[in-house]
């Protein structure tokens, strides 16, 4: 079959990326400023308003409002310098890191935001590792330079030491006794001054072609800056595209999102350094090329994003070919054929009809029942992509229906939440549906699950503390030995066997006595 000639040039101008950070580093602020500078929104506060109470809200998103966190992930599409940006939104709270993990499977580049005063924080480290494992190139943005922070050189050292990615600063901050004076582009020498004009809040100022010509800098500042820039060049901390794409280096940008400093540099970096969609690996060791017939995979399923519709949206990352509304595709897991009629461009809470899409784009499919995270769809030969990564659950709770007349709804609700990946539902194969166990990475996932069971499915539910503390995946042979030794072995909907121990001590002692039993932390898909 001859390939569609529009696909390769359209894919080449796509940039699909996610912004990730430890909570509070400034992800929301930066997202908003990027959208403003790119002209995608025209009102500061729009992103925050989306999560802060304005607009359509579903009941369970009440949790987002009251806790001031973002649980839902969607995609924003906008154009900048002739390129189509697909910005995948990730939840800010660490309890939903599994969701972030899934979103990262759909991006080509990640932007990691670091608070200049705090450096690498636990969630930053974890996310860097995830990108590393997946081979996702990372651009680093060091934020909040307008506040007292750590020495930029020290931050670079920390990135290299803790993560093993060599930092290559593209811009460099001009500091004077802790005060942030501007950013120098290390290649062109251009300066973006930062400061206050009159009584206004400090902000990025109009650029100057060469920092050496900036008269406001004293000789001391000038000398120090010159030394720092020489030092960076001396150690060869320069951007190299191949090393960046190979996951060896991370280009570093500095700035203060709140004062718009460094934001334009970062937007440009997505065009200039960010990766265009490329071939996608399949589960069988092959690749899908972007020119191949349409294929995509579900990286997220989200129910009930809009209380007026109460429906279910599957987010699909296009891996190859051209998507056209209404096209017939093959659903790999079920072997069924489906027509993709109700396709939307998922711009935050709004839904715009989508007629076509190219590699790198995200399609929101409404009420595509039967689609689960990790599923592949294709218009040509069937394809299967590597399984979705999962985090080991660390929190468990026994779940019970509080109203026996609503048992059917309770069961339906649990199945839906499991399928969406809101929580994992584990069952005792002998006891069937009685008292399943919920497993989660963070306890707030339980809150979302309970709120949704009640509001969406009309199933009042209670959670009781479980006996189990630690989970490991096992196999059939292992499960028999484990049961004999009094360890609980439960079953996931997807078929894996999960051994649950009452304490880490119990697990360790079991591992010592029975080294032949396969017990793996639940990280595989
Ligand atoms: P997050 O999404 O990563 O969780 O972070 P968010 O953008 O919500 O920012 C966390 C806090 O840091 C906010 O302050 C925000 O205004 C502030 N912030 C973000 N970027 C900068 C920056 O460049 N400089 C300075 N000085 N502050 C920054 P807040 O007081 O928690 O919230 P708000 O009342 O300002 O909304």
Ligand 1, residues 26, 52, 127: which to mutate, most atoms within 8 A of Cβ?
A: 26
Report how far ligand 1's centroid is from the alpha carbon of 29 (Å): 6
- Return all residues near 360 (Cβ < 8 A) that are at least 6 apart: 11, 14, 15, 16, 84, 86, 108, 276, 277, 317, 318
Atom of ligand 1 nearest to the CA of 255: 23
Atom of ligand 1 nearest to the CA of 261: 23
- Return all residues near 133 (Cβ < 8 A) that are at least 6 apart: none
Rounded to whole angstroms, how far apart are CA atoms 45 and 28?
A: 10
Q: Which CATH architecture has domain 395-521?
A: 2-Layer Sandwich (3.30)
Q: Whose CA is nearest to atom 24 of ligand 1?
A: 144
Ligand 1, residues 47, 70, 258, 265: which to mutate, most atoms within 8 A of Cβ?
A: 258
DSSP, res 373: T
CB-CB contact of 344 with 302 (8 Å): no
Report how far ligand 1's centroid is from the alpha carbon of 181 (Å): 20
φ/ψ of residue 154, rounded to 5: -65, -40
Report how far ligand 1's centroid is from the alpha carbon of 144 (Å): 8
Domain 280-378 indexed as CATH 3.40.50.300: yes
Atom of ligand 1 nearest to the CA of 32: 7
Report how far ligand 1's centroid is from the alpha carbon of 272 (Å): 27
Tally of CB atoms within 10 A around 249: 22
Report how far ligand 1's centroid is from the alpha carbon of 58 (Å): 25
CATH number for the domain running over 14-54+105-272: 3.40.50.300
CB-CB contact of 241 with 273 (8 Å): yes
In this structure, the residues whose C-beta lies within 6 A of any atom of ligand 1 are: 21, 23-29, 92, 143-144, 146-147, 256-258
Atom of ligand 1 nearest to the CA of 30: 7
Question: What ranges in 86-215 are assigned the alpha helix state H?
Answer: 97-104, 122-134, 152-163
For residue 294, give Cα distances in angstroms to 289, 309, 483. Answer: 10, 28, 46
Q: Of 296, 335, 310, 324, nearest to 456 (Cα)?
A: 310
Q: Whose CA is nearest to atom 6 of ligand 1?
A: 26
DSSP labels, 243-300: HHHTTSEEEEEE-BGGGTBTHHHHHHHHHHTSPPP--EE-TTS-EE-TTSSPEEEEEE
Domain residue extents for the chain: 14-54+105-272, 280-378, 395-521
Asked if domains 14-54+105-272 and 395-521 share a fold, the reply is no
Atom of ligand 1 nearest to the CA of 259: 23
Report how far ligand 1's centroid is from the alpha carbon of 118 (Å): 13
Report how far ligand 1's centroid is from the alpha carbon of 23 (Å): 10
Q: Of 53, 48, 136, nearest to 92 (Cα)?
A: 48
**Tens of pLDDT along the chain (525 residues)?**
568 999 999 999 999 999 999 889 999 899 889 988 998 776 555 555 544 433 323 333 454 455 444 444 467 888 999 999 999 877 766 666 777 888 899 999 999 999 999 999 988 888 888 888 888 999 999 999 999 999 999 999 999 999 999 999 999 999 998 899 999 999 999 999 999 888 889 999 999 999 999 989 999 999 999 999 999 999 999 999 999 999 999 999 999 999 999 999 999 999 999 999 999 999 999 999 999 999 999 998 877 655 565 677 889 999 999 999 999 999 999 999 999 888 887 765 566 788 999 999 999 888 777 888 899 999 999 999 988 877 778 888 999 999 989 999 999 899 888 888 888 899 988 777 778 999 888 888 888 888 889 888 899 999 988 776 788 889 888 888 888 777 888 888 878 888 988 888 889 998 998 898 888 876 544
pTM higher than 0.75: yes
Report how far ligand 1's centroid is from the alpha carbon of 33 (Å): 12
């Amino acid at each position: 079959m001859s390939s569609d000639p529009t696909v390769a040039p359209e894919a080449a101008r796509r940039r699909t990326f996610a912004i990730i950070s430890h909570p509070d580093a400034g992800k929301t602020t930066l997202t908003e400023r990027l959208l403003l500078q790119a002209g995608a929104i025209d009102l500061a506060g729009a992103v925050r308003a989306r999560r802060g109470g304005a607009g359509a809200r579903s009941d369970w998103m009440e949790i987002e409002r009251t806790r001031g966190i973002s649980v839902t992930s969607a995609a924003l599409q906008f154009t900048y310098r002739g390129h189509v940006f697909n910005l995948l939104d990730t939840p800010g709270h660490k309890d939903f890191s599994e969701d972030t993990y899934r979103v990262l499977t759909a991006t080509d580049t990640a932007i990691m935001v670091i608070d200049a005063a705090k450096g690498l924080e636990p969630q930053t480290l974890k996310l860097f590792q995830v990108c590393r494992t997946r081979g996702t190139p990372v651009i680093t943005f060091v934020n909040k330079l307008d506040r007292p922070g750590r020495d930029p050189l020290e931050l670079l050292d920390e990135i290299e030491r803790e993560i093993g990615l060599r930092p290559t600063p593209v811009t460099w901050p001009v500091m004077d006794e802790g005060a942030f004076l501007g950013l120098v582009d290390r290649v062109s020498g251009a300066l973006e001054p930062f400061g206050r004009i009159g009584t206004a809040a400090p902000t990025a100022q109009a650029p100057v072609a060469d920092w050496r010509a900036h008269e406001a800098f004293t000789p001391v500042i000038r000398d120090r800056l010159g030394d720092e820039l020489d030092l960076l060049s001396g150690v060869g901390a320069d951007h190299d595209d191949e090393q960046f794409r190979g996951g060896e280096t991370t280009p570093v940008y500095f700035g203060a999102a709140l004062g718009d400093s460094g934001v334009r540099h970062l937007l440009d970096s997505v065009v200039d350094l960010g990766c265009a969609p490329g071939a996608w690996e399949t589960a069988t060791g092959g690749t899908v090329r972007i020119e191949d017939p349409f294929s995509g995979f579900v990286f997220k399923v989200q129910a009930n994003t809009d209380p007026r519709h109460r429906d279910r949206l599957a987010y699909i990352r296009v891996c190859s070919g051209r998507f056209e509304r209404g096209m017939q595709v093959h659903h790999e897991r079920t072997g069924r054929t489906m027509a993709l009629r109700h396709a939307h461009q998922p711009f935050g809470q709004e839904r715009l009809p989508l007629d076509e899409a190219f590699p790198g784009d995200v399609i929101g499919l409404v009420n595509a029942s039967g689609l689960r995270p990790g599923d592949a769809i294709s218009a040509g030969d069937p394809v299967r992509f590597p399984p979705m990564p999962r985090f080991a659950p660390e929190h468990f709770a026994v779940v019970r229906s509080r109203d026996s007349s609503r048992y059917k709804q309770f069961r339906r609700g649990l199945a839906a939440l499991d399928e969406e990946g809101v929580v994992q539902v584990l069952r005792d194969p002998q006891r069937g549906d009685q008292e399943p166990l919920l497993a989660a990475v963070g306890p707030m996932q339980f809150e979302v699950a309970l709120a949704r069971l009640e509001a969406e499915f009309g199933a009042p539910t209670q959670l009781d503390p479980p006996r189990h503390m630690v989970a490991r995946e096992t196999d059939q042979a292992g499960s028999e030995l484990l049961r004999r030794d009094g360890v609980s072995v439960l079953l996931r909907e997807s078929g894996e066997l999960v051994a649950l121990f009452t304490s880490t001590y119990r697990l360790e002692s079991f591992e010592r006595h029975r080294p032949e039993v396969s017990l793996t932390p639940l990280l595989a898909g």
